[in-house]
A and B are shown apart, each in its own frame.
Chain A
Amino acid sequence: MKYLRIFTISIREQIAYLPVMLLRNIFFIIIFYIFYSLWSAIYQDRETIEGFTIIQMIWYLTFAEAIELSRCGVMNQIQEEIKDGSVVYGLARPYYYVIFKISRGMGESMVRCLPVLILGYAFAYIFVGPLDGYFTALPFALILLIGGLLLNVLWQINIGLLSFWFEEVGPFYWILTKMVFIMGGLFFPIDLFPGWLAGIAKYLPFAFSAYWPARTMVQFNQDIFLTGFLGLIIYASGLLLCSTVIFEIARKRVHVQGG
């Protein structure tokens, strides 16, 4: 119950930033238009590329970008709390720090995601027209999208907790985001890679933050959804376990050596 309240209060706090977020989405429209122009040129003399039509490709991008542009700031919060020592004061309260941060991060991400999704829908609808089976696929794709947001929050928590040992953890996160850009299928579906690379990239954790949710949206079938869902469960559990272990090691260090 307490974590649900943290989640909802985080949503409410983010709504205070809504005007800023909407302004930020101007950037989304610009990059989206660039991608639209690029793919229009590529699709000029062909109907499909690796099974994707231009309509599917543009809708794919709106969905994958929605996850990427909904990143919360939980890593920076953790880094700051560790640097200024305030992380130790959370230990004097009856909640588990990692779950608290997940709840908060998910609240933030969900609020950021909604306007991007709406904007993406409007943009794709206007520029390439409706996507067949959109409303059938949407509930399933949303599950994977929320999962993608969760993976991002968990990555951020893991990297943020490394601040106990490293002065600056931003570079780790920078590498992660670039891996999602390149290997996660953020800019184009992984299917466009050479066969051997696509075979590997599809099952790396980065793909579950972009490729699988977006592909479920545009080429929905049960197998695609279940593969995405299973991978999500495995990687989310792994990252959760990892963050718990890192936090426990760090907590022992705090207990012994101070804040």
Chain B
Amino acid sequence: MIISGNYKLLQGRSLNTVIQIQNLRKKFNTKIKSSGFAAAVKSLFNPQYQTTHAVDDISFSVERGEVLAFIGPNGAGKSTTIKIITGIMYSDSGNVKVLGMDPHRQRKQLAYRIGTIFGQKSQLWFHLPPVDSFYLLADIYDLDRNRAKKRINFLTEVFQIGSYLKVPVRKLSLGERIRCEIAASLIHEPEILFLDEPTIGLDVIVKQRIRNLIKTINSEDKTTIFLTSHDTGDISSICRRAIVINHGQIVWDDTVNKMKYSFFKKKTVDLRLQSPLQLEMDGVKILKTKNSSAKLEINLDLVDLTAVFDRIMQTNQIKDMTVSNPPLDEVISLIYSKDKR
């Protein structure tokens, strides 16, 4: 069941579709190993397999220039889907078109038009400066020398990596290296960039810098960003749209904002009052009180915010107040848990 959907209608604009997936399925057969010697011998002659539906009938499309979060718990089917989209793996059934190509049959042609960064797996040569890896990648993607030089200059400026472009990679900090990794994946001007956990292990300042860079390349190059991350900060600050996948099925496909607002029917309210709070009301849970301050959780399905404030103001005076949405990771956890089978 998809909780929300038809994102394209919500956007209200028509762009080029760069990824089109229909009814995609992929299952794996895993050999079961029982414990004990007899079972081990038996499994040699009569192996038993367990079928896992890694991707189970998913459909979605991505438009050119979109910044999409593709998220889900471990083992949900994210990596399998990405491997199928990038042509690394075959699907069992369904249609996949990426930039108008069949990734399975046109893997090499597609490779020239997409970029990938997979977690902490480096594409830079450890003992050499990043610029050497950049020129190697330019050769791998068949860029001529002039074009490569221009592109590297452009990326050096955008990513502000000029000061350590000629420093061996082993001497760079993790943040500096990740900036170079992302720049490296953009040498051939890919139309779609697949980013898998690009900010893992980085401190908050570097994370923010990387997020800004991703936004910059999306706006400067019009590169479509397909982001996989467990870091909700990445999702909320970079992506407009999120697809949540769990047990191989899409359980959410809509804007990140809507995810926050429509999914959680509870608000948290911090109050500073004239005198200590005295309140008993359906749908209102007092989380904490201290002197004349209080923290409430209000269930919007049961009571209106204004009704709660009216009731408080009948006997008290509100000096200050903050109404907050739940943090995004709570929302995502809730989506995951609602889908538990």
Contact = CB atoms under 8 A, between A and B. Distances in A.
Interface string B53-90: 01000000000000000000000000110010011111
B88 A91 contact: yes
A94 B108 CA distance: 5
A230 B127 CA distance: 37
Given A89-B121, A91-B107, A95-B140, A13 B116 contact: no
Interface size class of A (residues with CB under 8 A): 20 to 34
B5 interface: no
A195 B141 CA distance: 54
Given A92-B116, A94-B108, A257 B139 contact: no
Nearest to A104: B125
B88 A88 contact: yes
A18 B168 CA distance: 15
A46 interface: no
Contacts of A194: none
Nearest to B122: A86
Interface stretch (B128-136, B214-222, B251-259, B301-309): B128-136
B112 A94 contact: yes
A17 B86 CA distance: 35
A2 B121 contact: no
A220 to B, nearest CB: 38
B142 interface: yes
B128 A9 contact: yes
B114 A5 contact: no
B127 A6 contact: no
A92 B141 CA distance: 12
A89 B127 CA distance: 21
Interface string A92-115: 111100000000000000000000
Contacts of B79: 259
Interface in A1-18: 1-2, 5-6, 9, 12-13, 16-17
B125 A257 contact: no
A19 to B, nearest CB: 12
A254 interface: yes
A43 B180 CA distance: 60
B261 interface: no
B136 A6 contact: yes
B80 A16 contact: no
B313 interface: no
A91 B142 CA distance: 17
A212 B221 CA distance: 56
A258 interface: yes
Contact of B89 (A16, A94, A254): A254
Given A16-B127, A92-B111, A255 B139 contact: no
Contacts of B168: 16
A256 interface: yes
A93 B142 CA distance: 12
B118 interface: yes
Interface string B15-48: 0000000000000110000000000000000000
A89 to B, nearest CB: 5
A82 to B, nearest CB: 13
A2 B128 contact: no
A106 B126 CA distance: 18
Given A254-B89, A255-B88, A255-B89, A86 B140 contact: no
B98 to A, nearest CB: 11
Nearest to A94: B111
Contacts of A1: 139
A72 B135 CA distance: 24
A174 B127 CA distance: 28
B139 A91 contact: no
Contact of B116 (A5, A89, A254): A89
B136 A9 contact: yes
A201 B79 CA distance: 49
Given A2-B140, A255-B90, A86 B118 contact: yes
A221 to B, nearest CB: 41
A95 B83 CA distance: 17
Nearest to A10: B125
A44 to B, nearest CB: 48
Nearest to B108: A94
A234 B9 CA distance: 63
B140 A91 contact: no
B135 A258 contact: no
Contact of A9 (B111, B118, B132): B132
Contacts of A254: 88-89
A9 to B, nearest CB: 5
A9 B87 CA distance: 28
Given A5-B135, A91-B107, A256-B90, A86 B83 contact: no
Contacts of A256: 89-90
Ranked 8 nearest A-B pairs via Cβ: A16-B127, A5-B139, A94-B111, A2-B139, A255-B90, A92-B86, A91-B88, A13-B127
Interface of A: 1-2, 5-6, 9, 12-13, 16-17, 86, 88-89, 91-95, 254-259
22 contacts: A9-B128, A9-B132, A9-B133, A12-B132, A13-B126, A13-B128, A16-B127, A88-B83, A88-B89, A89-B88, A89-B121, A91-B88, A91-B107, A92-B107, A92-B116, A94-B108, A94-B112, A94-B140, A255-B89, A255-B104, A259-B83, A259-B89
Interface of B: 28-29, 54, 79-80, 83, 86-90, 104, 107-108, 111-112, 114, 116, 118, 121, 125-128, 132-133, 135-136, 139-142, 168
